[in-house]
Amino acid sequence: MFVAFENMPESARVWIYQANRKLTGQEEESLQQMTLEFINSWAAHGASLQASFKVLHQQFLVILVDEGYNAASGCSIDASVHFVQHMEKELGVNFFDRTKVAFILNDEVFLESVSSLKNKVAEGAIHKNTLTFNNLIQSKKELEEAWLVPAEQTWLGRYFK
């Protein structure tokens, strides 16, 4: 059952799916509509889940579930992954490419291949204060406080020593 994003507790569990490109307005609208339909039918062993979502920066699908209401089960998490895979096909994007790291450069989301990060740091294209998306966060509180952090505060920090 859908709950407004702002009404979700800070402890809500978070999954972030990063698209390999910026979504068009029409694609984002379609993603929002389909995700709302999915959330409204999402359940764990027949028990409805209180959940929400947002599309951020036209590139990230953020799904939250209030596990204080009903915990997401392995099957329900699998269902959400299958839903996102379905949306990949519908929209022609990749939400599961873990070989790219997202940054904010010139007020835009920029993706860089993991294999070229060390060189980008050495060239000065990415510096220690470059805002970096930490898609490994676990809760809504972390989303609000630690999703977007300077590169030096992530695993990339080793490249700035």
d(CA 32, CA 23): 11
Q: What's the pLDDT tens digit per position in 16-46? A: 999 999 999 999 999 999 999 999 999 988 8
| CA–CA separation, 39 and 11 (whole Å) | 18
What is the reported pLDDT for 161? 78
**Quick one: average pLDDT of 73-85?**
93
At 106 the pLDDT is 87
Say if residue 134's pLDDT is above 90: yes
pLDDT band of 47, cuts 50, 70, 90: confident
The pLDDT tens digits of the residues spanning 69-78 come to: 988 888 899 9
